[in-house]
Amino acid sequence: MFLSSLCVNAQVEDDSLESPPDTVKMGTYIISIHDINFQEKEYVLRFWLWALYDNVSFDLAKQLDIPNAKSIDEQEVVAVDVVNRKTWQLMKMRTTMKQNWKVGNYPFDKQHLVVHMENTIFDKNRLVFIPDDLGSAYDRELTLDGWHITNFEVGVKDKEYTTVFGDPSTNALHSEYSSFDISMDIERDGWGLFWKLFSGMYIAFLIAMVSFGLQVEELEPRFGLPVGGLFAAVGNKYIIDSLLPESNTFTLVDSLHSITFFSIFIILFLSAITLYIYHQDKISLSKKINRISATAVFILYIIINTFIITSALS
């Protein structure tokens, strides 16, 4: 990745390394965030990037690396000027960024987006970034469908590598480079998407609940409706899962569907019990159990769903 020490240290004396590193003041202006893709774990970012520096050996366009980008799709140097003996360079960029989406509370998820930028030539002993906090911002007219930005900031930190990339001039086992970071928090406006995704699941549950309204002895519809509702709920889950990346955690989607599957199973189980009691010539008791079961299952389903969704929102 880096030519750092191999190219630079051969040109300097050992005592020069003790001098303060050059500084590069970096800033950014976000133009747009779009093409958010959960399956491919990526999004597209368009932004302005600028640097103000003294070191004539530094070139923002040629020496910039974004380690967590899938690709730099466009990189255009718009302006280069010298102001008060400092070089000012302005670029316009379009990148496809890698992102490990957090889907535990989908569709009420909150995501943290970070863009790491590093210099490919000079390590932190030769060059460090400082953020242009006042100049950096995002377009206030930026429209991110279904999302809104809750936080934006720029900062710097040191990125450590457990290698010196084969530099023969040092025996060190690691190297560090200054990193300029763009950080954003985005939060989804999830209620509209929630009802689109889960309406099929809730209708499937209500179809299963209809069986409680039938006569206890009506065998086929009493068992056929819950089974049909179960298949509909399973199909709904497959559709939602196709929109999301694989996850080892138990998500909101998993929780709500699991409760629905279990509730439909309970409906089938209670239908079997009431039918058994009915055939024991305890008709009034079977009907009473049927009414109580319908009320209990419906209320518990609402309470558990409310608790799970409230927890995801908090």
pLDDT tens per residue, range 268-300 = 999 999 999 988 989 899 999 999 999 999 999
- Whether the pLDDT of residue 14 is over 60: the answer is no
Comparing 32 with 248, the larger pLDDT belongs to 32
Tell me, yes or no, whether 157 and 98 share the same domain. yes
Tell me, yes or no, whether 14 and 77 share the same domain. yes
Supply 38's token pair.
Answer: 């959960």
Boundary residue ending a domain (188, 220, 242): 188
Tell me, yes or no, whether 203 and 171 share the same domain. no
To the question of pTM greater than 0.85 for the whole model, the response is no
- Alpha-carbon gap, residue 261 to 263, rounded angstroms: 5
Tell me, yes or no, whether 163 and 47 share the same domain. yes
Boundary residue ending a domain (140, 159, 188): 188
Tell me, yes or no, whether 72 and 116 share the same domain. yes
Give the range of the structural domain holding residue 278, as residue numbers without chain letter. 191-313
Beta strands in the chain (DSSP E): 22-37, 42-53, 64-65, 69-83, 86-98, 110-119, 127-131, 137-138, 147-161, 175-188
What's the pLDDT tens digit per position in 140-199? 888 888 899 999 999 999 988 877 777 777 767 778 889 999 999 999 988 999 999 999
- Alpha-carbon gap, residue 270 to 199, rounded angstroms: 25
Boundary residue ending a domain (158, 188, 218): 188
What's the pLDDT tens digit per position in 69-122? 999 999 998 988 888 888 999 999 999 999 999 999 999 999 999 999 998 888
pLDDT of residue 276: 92
| CATH number of the domain where residue 93 is located | 2.70.170.10
